[in-house]
Copies of this chain bind each other. A is one copy, B any other.
Amino acid sequence: MADVQKLLIVGGVAGGASAAARARRLNEAAQIIVFERGPYVSFANCGLPYHLGGDIAERESLLLHTPESLTARFGLDVRVNSEVLSIDRSNKTVRVLNRLTGDEYLESYDALILAPGAAPIRPPLPGLDHERVFTLRTVPDLDRLMNVMTPDVKHVTVVGAGFIGLETVEALRHRGLQASLVERGTQVLTPLDAEMTAPLSHELKAHGVELLLGESLQSVNAGERLTLQMESGRQVTTDLVVLAIGVKPENQLAREAGLEIGSTGGVYVNEQQQTSDSSIYAVGDAVEVRHTINGKAVLLPLAGPANRQGRIAADTIFGRQAHYRGSQGTAICKVFDHTAASTGLNEKTLQAANMPYQKLYLHGNDHASYYPGATMISLKVLFDPASGKLLGAQAVGEKGVDKRIDVLAVALQAGMTIDDLAEMELSYAPPYGAAKDPVNLAGMAAQNWQAGLLQLTQPEDLAQASDAQIIDVREPEEIASGQIAGARNLPLSQLRQLSHLLDKNKPVIVYCMVGLRGYIAQRHLSQLGFNVRSLNGGYKTWQMWQATKTA
């Protein structure tokens, strides 16, 4: 756009703040006004649960900037408590409400950036407007919640087990409250596939969270305490409720202005973050993005993309080449002492889209097992069976999950294949990793599968393999903690002596704890002429998969 002398930005957090700062660095002369409906700009949205839980002691640490600091640093005109009510596209003006005074006024623009974010979903259920039902999206939300945390509040119920729900329920447990977590679906953290969330459900329960999966809130009934009525008939008595069902794009302003809204409900933008009106841009949680893997329009409300989109909008407005490449949905969540993270597409999505895929489970230590403190990471890698191209990855564990998902996120961004994973040269010393990192091992195992060396049985297919001889190749002492029903123990260390005990006319399925020894056993038996498969990810994966059946 040529000669933008006046830029208005609706929303002063994440994408809006990034756009404003970038705009000023590109153009000293332009008038830049930022309207923020709430009382705060540039606050640490993602930090709210951690102040609630007490990890972040000072509320002030959440306020990254004030209008004054932004004005001093960037020469911005920052107006908080200022709601943009409407856009007059033909006259290029917006109508602004000063929420403190009630005054309304018009402001003209050469370019307009919409960064209104997303709003917590509040389903129209009876009682949900009760004053003890909260959301946690803004600093005032946090303040309201903190204010009611009186000693008579003993029990809190969080509705929704997504990122915010999980972080919030952990925060409330940190505060010493009893907590229930209600989730309509049959798993927590839906960006991951169900089996990968089994350790998270376990972790929640281990930390005293009452986890109610498959329960749908029907109504909130106020009495001395609150009674939550579930569709199943179940009731939960609680003192307050935090709704964390999800968010929806704040698209009203754009919609009423006649801007194109995508099928997802997010504001449609092109790669330059331009809406259907070339003078109006939109960024952040309010817009729909292209998924980098399948090209579909999706809602992926994430802070990193929001910031980058703000930068791109400012670049475009002030004449620089820039485009947004799409989002791949990299996300991470702390769940007490566990971390879960994912990037790209999950198996559910691949199945629903009928995209060909293969999956590989790999359980490996975050660093060399002989160095103290090693913990296990469970990794799921999804890839195209023909080309080997990575489609997505998920990981859960205590430590090092963020590193592996970031490594895989870059691999996904680069269009890498399982061969590339196998060949990755990652940093290794015993405190940090292993000579073969779990990511390398996942790549190698996937290569073996692709080359026909590794024959896999999926845990969900095991029940159908009733004619097979199921062989547990772990050492006897490992089996004390459980094994698969009907399995026979032939330890790998004795398999070379004992393989004659197996029936060559019946298929064999071998497994160990994580899959490595199972693979070795499978190679051995396969070369002896057995029809043999290895259980993907071994007993560990099977346990995770089983847990989702009994949750």
Q: Which residues of A contact B (CB under 8 A)?
A: 14, 21, 24-29, 44, 46-47, 50, 55-57, 61-62, 64, 69, 72-75, 163, 167, 302-308, 311, 320, 325, 327-334, 339, 341, 343, 368, 370-372, 402-403, 405-407, 409-411, 413-414, 416, 420, 422-433, 435-437, 440, 444, 451, 453, 492-494, 496, 517, 519-520, 523-524, 527-528
Contacts and interface: CB of A to CB of B under 8 A. Distances in A.
A435 B285 CA distance: 14
Contact of A425 (B409, B416, B440): B409
A132 B463 CA distance: 63
Copies of this chain, count: 2
B409 A413 contact: no
Nearest to A523: B25
A139 to B, nearest CB: 13
A433 B405 CA distance: 12
Given A407-B406, A432-B402, A62 B370 contact: yes
Contact of A44 (B370, B403, B520): B370
A308 B402 CA distance: 24
26 contacts: A24-B523, A25-B519, A25-B520, A25-B523, A26-B523, A28-B524, A46-B435, A47-B368, A55-B372, A62-B370, A69-B493, A72-B496, A73-B517, A302-B425, A305-B425, A306-B435, A307-B435, A308-B423, A330-B427, A332-B427, A332-B432, A339-B432, A343-B425, A402-B433, A410-B416, A413-B423
A414 B420 contact: yes
Given A61-B370, A371-B56, A372-B56, A493 B402 contact: no
Contact of A325 (B308, B423, B426): B423
A414 to B, nearest CB: 4
Contacts of A423: 308, 325, 413
Contacts of A426: 304, 330, 406, 409-410
Taking each of A21, A304, A372, A519, which has the highest tally of chain B beta carbons within 10 Å of its own beta carbon?
A304
Contacts of A432: 332, 334, 339, 402
A302 B425 CA distance: 10
Contact of A409 (B50, B405, B427, B517): B427
A431 B334 contact: yes
A492 B422 CA distance: 48
A308 B420 CA distance: 12
A502 B46 CA distance: 40
Nearest to A57: B372
Contact of A428 (B64, B304, B414, B528): B304
A40 to B, nearest CB: 14
A1 B100 CA distance: 82
5 nearest interchain CB pairs?
Answer: A414-B414, A28-B527, A332-B427, A303-B435, A61-B370
Nearest to A339: B432
Given A55-B372, A330-B425, A407 B405 contact: no
B413 A425 contact: yes
Contacts of A311: 444
